[in-house]
Amino acid sequence: MHCPILIAVVIWSSCVDSQKIRGISLSYKRFYRERKSFLCIDGSKLIPFDQVNDDYCDCADGSDEPGTAACPDGRFYCTNLGYRPHYIPSSRVNDAICDCCDASDEYNSHTACQNTCRNLGQRERAEVKSQMRALDQGLRLKQQLIEEGVLTWRDKQAQLRDLQRVLDDLQTQLDDLRKEDARRKKEVDALRELEIGALETEENSHRSHIMNESPVSIFYELDSNRDGRLSAKEVRAKLTDIQDGERVLSEDEAVALLGGGHHVDLSRFEETLWNSIRIGHNVTIRGRVPGRLVKGEPVLKAAVSAAEKAAAELKKVEDAYETVYMEIRDLREKLATDYGPEREFLFLYNQCFQLKVHEYFYELCPFNQVTQTSASGAEVSLGKWGSWAGSPQHRYSQMKYENGEPCWQGPTRNTVVTLTCGTETALRSVKEPGKCQYVAEFQTPVACRPALRQQGVHSEL
Amino acid sequence: MAAFIVRMGPVLMLWLAVCVSGSWAVDRGNFKTCDQSTFCKRQRALKPGQSPYRALLETLELTNTKLTLQLINDNNKVRLLLELYRLQGNMTRVKINELKPLKPRFEVPDVLINDPPTEPLSLLSQDENGMVLSLGADSQRLIVSAKPFRLDIMEGREVLLSLNSRGLLAFEHLRIRKDTLADPEGAEKKEETDAASEQTEGEEATKEDEKVEDGMWEETFKSHTDSKPNGPTSISLDFSLPGVEHVYGIPEHADTLKLKTTDGGEPYRLYNLDVFQYELFNPMALYGAIPVMLSHSPQRTMGLFWLNAAETWVDISSNTAGKTVFGQMLDYVQGSSETPQTDVRWISESGIIDVFIMLGPTPTDVFAQYASLTGTQAFPPLAALAYHQCRWNYNDQEDVAAVDQGFDQHDIPYDFIWLDIEHADGKRYFTWDPHKFPQPKEMLQGLEDKRRKMVAIVDPHIKVDNSYKIHSEIRSRGFYIKNKDGGDYEGWCWPGNSGYPDFTNPEMRAWWASMFAYDQYEGSRENLYTWNDMNEPSVFNGPEVTMHKDAVHGNWEHRDLHNIYGLYVQMATAEGLIQRSGGVERPFVLTRAFFAGSQRYGAVWTGDNAAEWDHLKITIPMCLSLGLVGVSFCGADVGGFFKSPSPELLVRWYQTGAYQPFFRAHAHLDTPRREPWLFGPENTALIREAVRQRYALLPYWYQLFYHAHRTGQPVMRYSLWVEYPQDTATFSMDDQFLLGRDLLVHPVTEEGARGVTAYLPGNGEVWFDVHTFQKHNGGQNLYIPVTMSSIPVFQRGGSIIPRKVRVRRSSSCMEHDPYTLYVALSPKRFAQGELYIDDGHTFSYEKQKEFIYRRLAFANNTLSSRNLAPGSQFTTLSWIEKIVILGASKPSKVTLKMPDGKESQLEFDFDASMSVLTLRKPGVNAGVDWTVVLQ
């Protein structure tokens, strides 16, 4: 043995009863009581006790060489006073690499290992302390967030109920409006049908409409100078364009209406201008409603206008319904997402977190998506919210975002987000260990678990 | 690394899209067939028949060292000069050049390790038809026939080999361009020619118009035009090998070990190319070229070394090919048939004919002969024989640390972690990406703390960027290869527009080597080693993805020396690694391109393979072929480079790779991560076990490499004909192999395999299953059921293999560990083996003779360790932990005897069911004499 005295003392003091037995923990000491012989712990073989730790592997289970590298798959116990004891594979004993902080693994390798357990222990205790502090704070924050989450959840539930109520109202309205709309439409249709019928038998239809107006009375109405004939001038004075009531007809137009002459008598009037007025396509008598509408159409017009109004009303309510419906759907979807056992992750919804890594800008929008934006501004989807993906024990320790933009000659991009406990909520790192396979670290108080305190306490020794 | 993929400029991407077109197979259209390579087409059009060449016997000159003789082509009266040497060690060298070439023709330098020592030749008889010479002391004779010219080498009454027996000697002499496009310098050249030809008889004839064919003075392939300022310069020669049915070698091809006949198909092509997604089982050229062919029959093993670095094609035909076994049997019974014969024809684009005929007669002799010409395998640092973890790419320092940690966490050993092209700053080799690898030295120190190492890639294409020191220095020193117009040659590669240093220039190589000095290569440390990829050279926008043949290296065209470029890159890099340590440390450099002699500089791998079962299978013949021609340090990307392996394939590949010389996992950038622990605990355990088997056997591997380095014997051997040259049964078998003489490995390369049939050679021998110690008889096909746990491996009865069964984090950690000796007894209860130990990483073994080399022998129930190298000295802390004797009987007493007379009894354990005797803790130092007696 070439150990510094200090190390020897440490070993001696930690194994008072069985000085010789290197590499075992106190709980195993009972197997190594100094006797004449040693029974392999698996019971497979009895060997002389001086073959324990003699750097030759006798037991199939390696139990005769806890302190040397002789047995494959053996393990060596680092006592690590002042720090944390742990096992190392026995292949790391005397390999010239310091594994145990108490240097006990390198007792014969000419490697000067320092006992760093005190420092490590102090550092770890300090670390654990600050971790514990962070954990406590994190847990407090988490509690707040849970409470906030509860409120949010209630709000959202209330909101959902309200929306549902609104939707029900809208539904009732819709039912009424649909009926009204249908009725109006039917009315218009009926009138339209009449109109169409009228147009089909135009003469009759018009005659019936102008029963009060005989060609004779119109002739005398237009014959302003009562000379028994209509002149172009009289026509221009009395008639107007059906489309534009203000416009004065031109001389030529008047002449044309009169069948090509400048004057017509009654009988000639009945053959020419009367037809124009009666059909009401071009001209009408100034100050009077154009020919067609003159006759019975105000009813239809009113019906159409009422129908249009009903339809508009219906559309408005339908739109409102659609909006509320979508809102409910979104809200339901949102509420159906798994926000953890206490809905502690609910607050992340609709939030996004950014991180810049070299030339790339990453954004994580929890329960939505992960994106990467390059310096040139091109945005690439690294995955859309898929599911929680932690181990069965810690389902909520990882999130999976899938089906991002496909890679060249490869699969679609995806991202696994690991959640870690911290007092802040922030995206801590994004990496791409394999092509288009991203991993991100996302720190948040809600990832803090009381169990971490147990582990911390344990590691404190 | 891949030929071409992603992350390149848009221009390249466009070009890639055309090239890649999404399919998984090689795009054959990117590479020439013989028909598309005009010299090959011209030469292949020449059919066997009467040779126009005649030996001018009156020109014979015979000195102590060589014979010279002029040959004349009776068609064009051009004269050639034949030089013939009898070389020490049963070799004959034949050189043929133009007697008076217009200008010198290229002769490949730097391949032979020295001017091969000669032996005197003597003239036995001569008449007007020819002459007979004695080749040294043996009964070997050389017969020179004058008309037509032909050489026959005979031993006794038997013809071993004939040259130009089929009349395919063809030598396209340098000529002046006579078509309309003749260059303006023609007149000047002509004067020189006239001056030169005045001394030559038959000068009138040489002025006869040569037939001008398409492609003689210019050749276009796809969009690339090859200006051929020297016109046609190709050479060809045929060899006949009577009695030979099996020829091997001429790597690199993704094909069976036994070479196939090429009648009616493409010849085997040797032209270093970056082939994207290469296809299996065909004669297409790949990344490296070693123009060495071995022939083997139960009577004799011989070799042909065609020393030419230009594009080369090899045709093989056989008079028994295509005959059924029954047909051959009928021939034999009737006694009427011709003897089996293999005919080989070599065609090269330029240079001279310079061929070394290695006459064996045993495989060992041929390996020694070739080693005496081109040197042996570099003796690698021990760690380089351990496991290498690579991926394109480990992204950053954190990633490296996490992977390193992963190995410890899963208790899997590894020695090297590798960084591919993404580690450098914009693919500027010798630099580090400032964001991803801001503290390379700290990273390397972190690995050193675990006694591990790193390899970073340094490719020979240099980004054209004036702010990049390497580029500006190479440019200012004029070290770049030039294009045909005299400017620096530029092509596209990973960094975009790149220059290619002229590694054929010794000054360039010296400068390059100096760049590896710790103060030059920033961020480097002692545990950083180098990987040379893309050194065919790969030029993405060049013809066949390589350099234009009319590019210029000093006095020579790229055409003349293409195949040796990659060798020079590795040579200069290895030299750099040696120099940075002041000549103390052994280098480790991996290369993709190689040539004859590359074995002296490090390791090679089989390039960009794929995660497919057939690619796993082909690793065996590919590495065996390389081993036969000197390159023992060969491996394939474990898991397959392209695509993603199933866990089963990955496990099987680890199990196979663990028994192949260069053991490195590698993966393409686009594939999912595949570190050994990513496939569930079961597969992790299987891979751990495979890697541990490798580590336990490192002493044996190291000793095999020492042996290869000393003797040129391959590490990974073809089981039958190298060690069992008489056993014809499996001359064509390439699904199993021997490591050294003593371990027989039969990888499992079928998906879902439940068993394999292994051939155990050697009638009267026995083999021990290393996993179960079950004994099997040799000379039989043995069906072995397999599970996923391992592949069949057998230790030869009669051998002793040292292992270090305490597998640790890295090979360095195992340095002082004790040995376990596995003694497998032959049926005559005999066994022997060796034990080689040195410091594992320096040249002290060579310079200061600091090593231990011992013979371990078991005979007469006594096992002893004796010094094989009395002049050497080295002390080790390692001792003998355990001795396992397979095929033993139970002794009553076991005594350990030391030279000083001290004796002690050893405890032992005997397993009667398997006849395994285990001696407990002899405890003797591994470097001393000792004896163990069983009574």
Residue entry with tokens 């979508």: A326
**Please, which pLDDT band fits residue A198 given cuts at 50, 70 and 90?**
low
Q: Provide the token pair at B423.
A: 């580690």
Asked if the model's pLDDT at residue B207 lies above 80, the reply is no
The per-residue pLDDT for B323 is 56
B-chain residues within 8 Å CB-CB of A96? 451, 812-813
A-chain residues within 8 Å CB-CB of B812? 96
Asked if the model's pLDDT at residue B464 lies above 80, the reply is yes
Query: Is B796 within 8 Å of B767 (Cβ atoms)?
Result: yes
Asked if the model's pLDDT at residue A2 lies above 50, the reply is no
**Please, which pLDDT band fits residue B198 given cuts at 50, 70 and 90?**
very low
The per-residue pLDDT for B321 is 60
A-chain residues within 8 Å CB-CB of B920? 56, 58
Query: Is B370 within 8 Å of B292 (Cβ atoms)?
Result: yes
B-chain residues within 8 Å CB-CB of A434? 671-673
The answer to whether the Cβ–Cβ distance between B673 and A91 falls below 8 Å is: no
Q: How close B405 gets to chain A, by Cα (Å)?
A: 13
Summarize the confidence of residues B482-501 as an average pLDDT. Answer: 97
For B269-323, how does the pLDDT look when each residue is reduced to its tens digit (9 = 90+)? Answer: 999 999 999 999 999 999 999 999 999 999 999 999 999 999 999 999 998 765 5
Query: Is B443 within 8 Å of B415 (Cβ atoms)?
Result: no
For A242-286, how does the pLDDT look when each residue is reduced to its tens digit (9 = 90+)? Answer: 777 677 788 888 888 888 888 888 888 888 887 777 766 677 777
Counting one residue from chain A and one from chain B, the pairs whose CB atoms sit within 8 A come to 61
The burial of A448, by beta-carbon neighbours within 10 Å (0-12 exposed, 13-18 middle, 19 or more buried), is given as: buried
Rounded to whole angstroms, the Cα distance separating B529 from B203 reads 57
CB-based contact (8 Å) between A432 and chain B?
yes
The answer to whether the Cβ–Cβ distance between A56 and B450 falls below 8 Å is: no
Q: What distances in angstroms separate CA B541 from CA B12, B38, B220, B223, one per listed residue?
A: 8, 21, 15, 10
The answer to whether the Cβ–Cβ distance between B809 and A97 falls below 8 Å is: yes
Summarize the confidence of residues B523-549 as an average pLDDT. Answer: 98
Rounded to whole angstroms, the Cα distance separating A310 from A181 reads 5
The answer to whether the Cβ–Cβ distance between A72 and B807 falls below 8 Å is: yes
Could you count the other beta carbons within 10 Å of the beta carbon of residue A19?
A: 12
For B106-153, how does the pLDDT look when each residue is reduced to its tens digit (9 = 90+)? Answer: 999 999 999 999 999 999 999 999 999 998 766 899 999 999 999 999
Cβ partners under 8 Å of residue B601, min gap 6: B378, B567, B570, B571, B573, B574, B587, B589, B591
Rounded to whole angstroms, the Cα distance separating A40 from A18 reads 17
Nearest to B426 by CA among B338, B517, B497: B497
The per-residue pLDDT for A17 is 43
B-chain residues within 8 Å CB-CB of A69? 806, 808, 817
Q: What is the mean pLDDT of chain A?
A: 83
Residue of A nearest to B13 (CA): A408
For B868-894, how does the pLDDT look when each residue is reduced to its tens digit (9 = 90+)? Answer: 999 999 999 999 999 999 999 999 999
Dihedral pair phi/psi, residue A172, rounded to 5°: -60, -50
The answer to whether the Cβ–Cβ distance between B672 and A54 falls below 8 Å is: no
Tell me what percent of the residues of chain B surpass a pLDDT of 90.
Answer: 86
CB-based contact (8 Å) between A418 and chain B?
no
CB-based contact (8 Å) between B452 and chain A?
no
Summarize the confidence of residues B827-848 as an average pLDDT. Answer: 97
The answer to whether the Cβ–Cβ distance between B806 and A54 falls below 8 Å is: no
CB-based contact (8 Å) between A378 and chain B?
no
B-chain residues within 8 Å CB-CB of A437? 672-673
B184 alpha carbon, distance to own chain's centre: 45
| DSSP state, residue A142 | H
A-chain residues within 8 Å CB-CB of B883? none
Query: Is A137 within 8 Å of A143 (Cβ atoms)?
Result: no
The per-residue pLDDT for A452 is 76
Summarize the confidence of residues B465-488 as an average pLDDT. Answer: 97
The answer to whether the Cβ–Cβ distance between B670 and A89 falls below 8 Å is: no
Q: Provide the token pair at B237.
A: 């020669």
The answer to whether the Cβ–Cβ distance between A56 and B670 falls below 8 Å is: no
Q: How close B278 gets to chain A, by Cα (Å)?
A: 18
Asked if the model's pLDDT at residue B29 lies above 60, the reply is yes
B-chain residues within 8 Å CB-CB of A407? 670
B-chain residues within 8 Å CB-CB of A408? 6, 670
Cβ partners under 8 Å of residue B218, min gap 6: B181, B225, B226, B227, B228
**Please, which pLDDT band fits residue B45 given cuts at 50, 70 and 90?**
very high
Which domains are present in chain A?
Answer: 3-113 (no CATH), 137-336 (no CATH), 346-455 (2.70.130.10)
- Chain A, residues 192-221, CB within 8 A of chain B, namely none
Indicate which of B16, B399, B808, B883 best probes the interface with A, i.e. most A CBs within 10 Å of its own CB.
Answer: B808
3-state secondary structure (DSSP) of residue B450 = coil
The per-residue pLDDT for B333 is 54
The per-residue pLDDT for A458 is 44
Rounded to whole angstroms, the Cα distance separating B111 from B662 reads 23
Active-site positions of B read 533, 608
Asked if the model's pLDDT at residue A241 lies above 80, the reply is no
Q: Provide the token pair at B669.
A: 């950038």
The answer to whether the Cβ–Cβ distance between B450 and A97 falls below 8 Å is: yes
Summarize the confidence of residues B153-182 as an average pLDDT. Answer: 89
The burial of B702, by beta-carbon neighbours within 10 Å (0-12 exposed, 13-18 middle, 19 or more buried), is given as: buried
- Chain B, residues 789-808, CB within 8 A of chain A, namely 805-808
Q: How close B671 gets to chain A, by Cα (Å)?
A: 7
**Please, which pLDDT band fits residue B726 given cuts at 50, 70 and 90?**
confident
Query: Is B649 within 8 Å of B617 (Cβ atoms)?
Result: no
* End-to-end Cα, chain B, rounded Å: 59
Asked if the model's pLDDT at residue A212 lies above 60, the reply is no
Q: What distances in angstroms separate CA A100 from CA A72, A81, A461, B832, one per listed residue?
A: 19, 10, 15, 42
The answer to whether the Cβ–Cβ distance between B669 and A435 falls below 8 Å is: yes
CB-based contact (8 Å) between A412 and chain B?
no
Question: Poorest-confidence range of A430-439, B477-486, B769-778, B836-845?
Answer: A430-439
Asked if the model's pLDDT at residue A224 lies above 90, the reply is no
Q: Which amino acid is at B591?
A: T
Q: What is the DSSP string of B387-439?
A: EEE--TT--SHHHHHHHHHHHHHTT---SEEEE-GGGSBTTBTT---TTT-S-
For A366-383, how does the pLDDT look when each residue is reduced to its tens digit (9 = 90+)? Answer: 999 999 999 888 899 999
The H-assigned helical ranges of A103-231 are: 117-200, 202-209, 215-222
Q: Provide the token pair at B918.
A: 């285990």
The per-residue pLDDT for B200 is 45
The answer to whether the Cβ–Cβ distance between B813 and A96 falls below 8 Å is: yes
Indicate which of A2, A54, A91, A414 best probes the interface with B, i.e. most B CBs within 10 Å of its own CB.
Answer: A91
| DSSP state, residue A446 | G
A-chain residues within 8 Å CB-CB of B22? 409
Q: Which amino acid is at B243?
A: G
What is the complex's ipTM, to 2 decimals? 0.89
Asked if the model's pLDDT at residue B638 lies above 80, the reply is yes
Residue of B nearest to A410 (CA): B670
Rounded to whole angstroms, the Cα distance separating B623 from B609 reads 13
Q: Provide the token pair at B677.
A: 């622990």
The answer to whether the Cβ–Cβ distance between B451 and A91 falls below 8 Å is: no
Asked if the model's pLDDT at residue B331 lies above 80, the reply is no
Could you count the other beta carbons within 10 Å of the beta carbon of residue A441?
A: 16
- The partner residue sitting opposite A434, judged by closest CB among B672, B805, B882, is B672
CB-based contact (8 Å) between B410 and chain A?
no
Tell me what percent of the residues of chain A surpass a pLDDT of 90.
Answer: 38
Question: Poorest-confidence range of A231-235, A378-382, B606-610, B878-882?
Answer: A231-235
The per-residue pLDDT for A287 is 63
Parallel/antiparallel/unpaired status of strands B862-867 and B852-859: antiparallel
Cis-peptide, bond into residue B537, ω within 30° of zero: yes
Q: How close A69 gets to chain B, by Cα (Å)?
A: 7
Q: What distances in angstroms separate CA A293 from CA A97, A209, A301, B498, one per listed residue?
A: 107, 9, 9, 86
Summarize the confidence of residues B657-686 as an average pLDDT. Answer: 97
CB-based contact (8 Å) between A437 and chain B?
yes
The answer to whether the Cβ–Cβ distance between B813 and A407 falls below 8 Å is: no
The per-residue pLDDT for B26 is 82
Summarize the confidence of residues B677-690 as an average pLDDT. Answer: 98
The per-residue pLDDT for A61 is 94
The answer to whether the Cβ–Cβ distance between B671 and A92 falls below 8 Å is: no
Summarize the confidence of residues A402-416 as an average pLDDT. Answer: 88
**Please, which pLDDT band fits residue A102 given cuts at 50, 70 and 90?**
very high
- The partner residue sitting opposite A433, judged by closest CB among B673, B808, B814, is B673
For B338-394, how does the pLDDT look when each residue is reduced to its tens digit (9 = 90+)? Answer: 689 999 999 999 999 999 999 999 999 999 999 999 999 999 999 999 999 999 999
Asked if the model's pLDDT at residue A294 lies above 50, the reply is no
The answer to whether the Cβ–Cβ distance between A431 and B395 falls below 8 Å is: yes
Asked if the model's pLDDT at residue A33 lies above 50, the reply is yes
Cβ partners under 8 Å of residue B881, min gap 6: A56, A70, B805, B818, B819, B820, B921, B922, B923
A-chain residues within 8 Å CB-CB of B673? 433-434, 437
The answer to whether the Cβ–Cβ distance between B673 and A437 falls below 8 Å is: yes
Q: How close B394 gets to chain A, by Cα (Å)?
A: 8
Summarize the confidence of residues B896-916 as an average pLDDT. Answer: 96
Q: What is the DSSP string of B235-303?
A: EEEEEEEET--EEEE----SS-SBPPP-TTSPPEEE-----TTPPSSS----S----EEEEE-SS-EEE
- The partner residue sitting opposite A95, judged by closest CB among B6, B22, B808, is B808
Q: How close A48 gets to chain B, by Cα (Å)?
A: 12
CB-based contact (8 Å) between B395 and chain A?
yes
For A295-344, how does the pLDDT look when each residue is reduced to its tens digit (9 = 90+)? Answer: 456 777 777 888 888 888 888 888 989 999 998 998 888 888 899 988 88
Asked if the model's pLDDT at residue B250 lies above 70, the reply is yes
